[in-house]
Amino acid sequence: MKKLLLLALIITMMSCKKEEQVQKQVIVTYEVESPRALVVFNDEFDNEKKLVVSGIYTYQFEAVKTDTASLTTYTPSTVGPLHVKATIYVNGNVAAQFNGLQQGHPQTLKVDLTKFRN
């Protein structure tokens, strides 16, 4: 009888065990197209990166250590407006985008990545 009671207790405890939540993989891709723009973005370790883009630039990473994807473009104020297309993709889908003329003022895109993990 004690063995039966112990077995029932073990089965009950195992069935009550919570399943661990597995986070979904989040792949972020930044894409910028412009004749000339300074681009500032955060990488997979949430470090800020800066570079000048002339043409098309793409950067991709798995977002494990960052909760926000951030991409900012700056164009020179000394020349006329330049066409800038800046896009943040999450898992291949457009999450944020700017597509237009830009002169002098920064254009910032931000995406909260926590909503893509659950």
Instruction: Spell out the domain ranges in the chain.
Output: 24-116
- List, for residues 97-116, the tens digit of each pLDDT value: 999 999 988 999 999 999 99
Instruction: Tell me the pLDDT tens digit for each residue of 92-102.
Output: 999 999 999 99
pLDDT in tens, 1-31: 666 555 565 666 555 555 555 668 899 999 9
Average pLDDT, integer, range 66-92: 94
- C-alpha of 73 from chain center: 16
* CATH 1.10.10 applies to domain 24-116: no
Query: Please, what's the b/e burial string for 29-41 (b: 16 or more CB within 10 A of its CB; e: otherwise)?
Result: bbbbbbeebebeb
Helix (H) / strand (E) element for 110: namely strand 107-112
Residue 69 pLDDT class (50, 70, 90 cuts): very high
Please give the pLDDT value at position 6: 57
